[in-house]
Amino acid sequence: MSSTLIALSRHEAEIRKSRFVALAAPIADARAAQDFLAAQHDPQATHNCWAWQYGDQYRFHDDGEPGGTAGRPILQAIQSQGCDRVAVLVIRWFGGIKLGTGGLIRAYGGTAAECLRLADKTVLREEILARCTCAYADMDRVQARLVAAGAQVESAEFDAQGVIWVLRCARAQASALEALYMDQTRGRGGWAVLSERPGDVPS
């Protein structure tokens, strides 16, 4: 199960006279990742290398370091720590001693990993969105039962037959909620999973 950060985390290391500062933060989407990286970018530093991951989306950047020695190790640190919805910036001030390819990979990946390891985290639960229908006569009772069982109503539309809900719930609860829903509507309701996505609710 993936986790994200609760707040900004910072870790600093000196490696063969180069100073490395890692900054990690939770992100709400890809745009938030870019905003965070732009806000924390230090134009006085030698390199500002970064990576972020949000679900299936990810990006990384070496900022002038040899290809594959900075951005990708930072991304691998995010993944190896089981994190998601996270952006990590590692800033380097060159100290005069070259680290070599292996040394750079260890420096960037290790600094990012330690920053994430020390950060306060919260677990992300996997969620689904489901579309379901309900007759007007059953609407209040069925909605109350579903909400009491852990579903959240994302939206509601109405037509001549009744209400069309989009519900959000933990994936682990989906089967039980569908069974409850079909029981409450006496098998007359429709239930269709629209998507699965990581949520932001601590499990």
Q: Is the pLDDT of residue 148 over 70?
A: yes
Chosen domain end from 63, 89, 123: 123
| 64 and 92 housed in the same domain | yes
94-97 CB contacts, 8 Å cutoff, 24+ apart: 94/18, 94/46, 94/47, 95/14, 95/16, 95/17, 95/18, 95/19, 96/17, 97/16, 97/17, 97/18
Note the pLDDT tens digit of each residue in 30-84: 999 999 999 999 999 999 999 999 988 999 999 999 999 999 999 999 999 999 9
Q: How many domains does the chain have?
A: 2
Which residues, in sequence order, are bridge partners of residue 19?
Answer: 14, 93
Mean pLDDT of the chain: 90
**Domain end call among 75, 93, 123:** 123
Whether residues 117 and 147 share a domain: the answer is no
What pLDDT score was predicted for residue 88? 98
Q: What CATH code is carried by the domain that includes residue 194?
A: 3.30.70.240
Residue-level pLDDT at 73: 98
> What is the DSSP-derived secondary structure letter of residue 136?
G
- How many residues in total does the chain contain? 203
Domain boundary among 95, 123, 151: 123
Q: For residue range 113-126, what is the model confidence (pLDDT) as tens digits?
A: 999 999 999 888 67
Q: Look at residue 68 and tell me if it is in a domain.
A: yes
Question: What percent of the chain has a predicted confidence (pLDDT) above 70?
Answer: 95
User: Residue 196 has what pLDDT?
Assistant: 56
* 158 three-class SS: strand
User: pTM value?
Assistant: 0.69
Q: For residue 187, give every residue at least 6 positions away whose Cβ sits within 8 Å of its Cβ, in sequence order, or none.
A: none
